[in-house]
Chain A
Amino acid sequence: MSEVKYFNPRSYSELTTLFSQLPKGFQTVAGTTDFIPAARRGVKYPVALLDISKVTELREIKEENNRISIGAAVTMAELVSNELIINQCPVLASGAKSVGSPLTRSRATIGGNIANASPSADTAPVLLTLNADVHLLATDGTTRQIPLAGFFLDYKKTARKENEIITGFSFPPPGPAAWTRFAKVGQRNGAAISVANMSMILKKDGDRCDDIAVAFGAVGPVPLRAASVETAARGTIFSDQFITACATAVQQDISPISDIRGSADYRRHVAANILARALTDAFAQGGVK
């Protein structure tokens, strides 16, 4: 244990300069809100820790060429209070706000939430509905950018290679005409891990659903886009049958398991409910929003 090396670069250039010294088998950490509890449960410490939480460039939120980019080390608390996110993308502020308590949010990063790849990660469905890309930097200096939709491979398995660090995420802002919702059902209010969560971005024209993106978490091995719901909803006129059709379609998209937080049947029920409620609210609220 005491052999573990620790690196905490303060800038992107310090980070890349370190690469030649990083031993194979190093692990990137940020807020350590997942890492420390896992280590306490017996997950082995790596040979070296690369703490990216103080890398200035990875703490930025900015808009460039009509894309919003968010550094991996941005915390949930920063997402909740950032003007650009609140104005352009409130659904992400809402997802971030649902992560744990203020104590967790002041440390927990968006990069850690996605890298950890828990099926219940609350920012995952939001980033999926935003069609976000994940930006990766390898220790040989190469970078790549892949859609988040292709990042989660299986339970806690991602497309990130061992020598890759997540540097951030980018996506086109959904625009002011989009109706958005983040919904989460936990075991109790406050710092509860999701039994099911959902993000929805919907564009409508009167009673018609012009376009929709829906994603769920904690109802399958990975956070997922609800393709059947999207197909059923797109181009359809809002009605009771429309709600029923979507609530039925979602059952094909999800594959929940039973665990201490809830049974598979309960999760199916919760997923259908939060979906139906969001669709009902979206069309009940009139106007463009």
Chain B
Amino acid sequence: MSINITITLNGKKKTLAVAPTQSLLSALRNNAKAKEVKDGCSDGDCGACTVLMDGKAVNSCLVLAPAADGSEIVTVKGLGTAEAPSAVQESFVNSGAIQCGYCTAGMVISATAFLNENPDPTRTEIREGLSGNLCRCTGYQKIIDAVANAAKKNHSQGE
């Protein structure tokens, strides 16, 4: 039995035929071909699969695809483009926070959701805010720099 679900993926409505036991991660990668969402562990441990679901950062591997019916999903591609990156995306590039890049899509989504709720964070808060996203390459310092810099930039442009 497959179930038709309708999601808004990066602003576009999509109807996907999913299995009741399929994960949202699998539905995004295999049905919607959103390969920018990465599969690191499929088990909730690494954060590579992080997407925004109705504005909240979630592990898409721990969401059942049918549970996403009616939801608004944003992947890293929905935040900005190469020509017009979001502040967080730009900051990751400028701060040297990307090495192999496997964690980056999820990390940038988590950082975006985190900054929406904590516009003026301490480094400790940033560390806690990104604690669901693992990175094997960078040692985290530059990622924390990137988030801190994006927060500063938001402030200097702020109201």
Contact A37 to B21, CB < 8 A, known contacts A8-B69, A102-B131: no
8 Å CB interface, A27-44 against B: 29, 31-33, 36-37, 39-40
Residue of B nearest to A77 (CB): B56
Is B85 part of the contact surface with A, judged by Cβ < 8 Å?
A: no
Residue of B nearest to A29 (CB): B64
Q: Complex: how many Å from CA A5 to CA B64?
A: 13
8 Å CB interface, B118-140 against A: 128-129, 131-133
Q: Complex: how many Å from CA A155 to CA B45?
A: 24
Residues of B within 8 A of A284 (CB): none
Is the CB–CB distance between A103 and B19 below 8 Å?
no
**Nearest-Cβ distance from residue A72 to partner chain B, whole angstroms:** 15
Is the CB–CB distance between B1 and A2 below 8 Å?
yes
Residues of A within 8 A of B59 (CB): 33, 103-104, 107
Is the CB–CB distance between B128 and A190 below 8 Å?
yes
**Nearest-Cβ distance from residue B98 to partner chain A, whole angstroms:** 20
Residues of A within 8 A of B23 (CB): 36
Contact A4 to B20, CB < 8 A, known contacts A32-B62, A36-B64, A101-B47: yes
Is B50 part of the contact surface with A, judged by Cβ < 8 Å?
A: yes
Q: Complex: how many Å from CA A254 to CA B3?
A: 47
Is A240 part of the contact surface with B, judged by Cβ < 8 Å?
A: no
Is the CB–CB distance between B20 and A6 below 8 Å?
yes
Is A3 part of the contact surface with B, judged by Cβ < 8 Å?
A: yes
Residue of A nearest to B50 (CB): A103
Q: Complex: how many Å from CA A8 to CA B129?
A: 30
Residues of A within 8 A of B47 (CB): 101, 103
Residues of B within 8 A of A36 (CB): 23, 43-44, 61-62, 64
Residue of A nearest to B60 (CB): A103
Residues of B within 8 A of A37 (CB): 43-44, 62
Is B15 part of the contact surface with A, judged by Cβ < 8 Å?
A: no
Residues of A within 8 A of B66 (CB): 6, 8, 51
Is the CB–CB distance between B3 and A101 below 8 Å?
no
Q: Residue-by-residue, is B1-14 near A (CB-CB < 8 Å gives 1, otherwise 0)? A: 11100000000000
Is B28 part of the contact surface with A, judged by Cβ < 8 Å?
A: no
Question: Which residue, of A4, A29, A32, has the highest number of chain B Cβ atoms within 10 A?
Answer: A32
A-B contact pairs, 24 of them (CB 8 A): A1-B21, A2-B1, A5-B1, A6-B64, A8-B67, A29-B64, A33-B44, A36-B43, A36-B61, A36-B64, A39-B21, A40-B42, A45-B21, A101-B131, A101-B133, A102-B57, A102-B131, A103-B44, A103-B57, A106-B58, A107-B58, A189-B131, A191-B45, A191-B131
Which 4 A-B residue pairs are closest in the complex by CB-CB distance?
A: A101-B132, A103-B132, A190-B131, A6-B20
Binding site for A on B (CB under 8 A): 1-3, 19-21, 23, 42-45, 47, 50, 56-59, 61-64, 66-67, 69, 110, 113-114, 128-129, 131-133
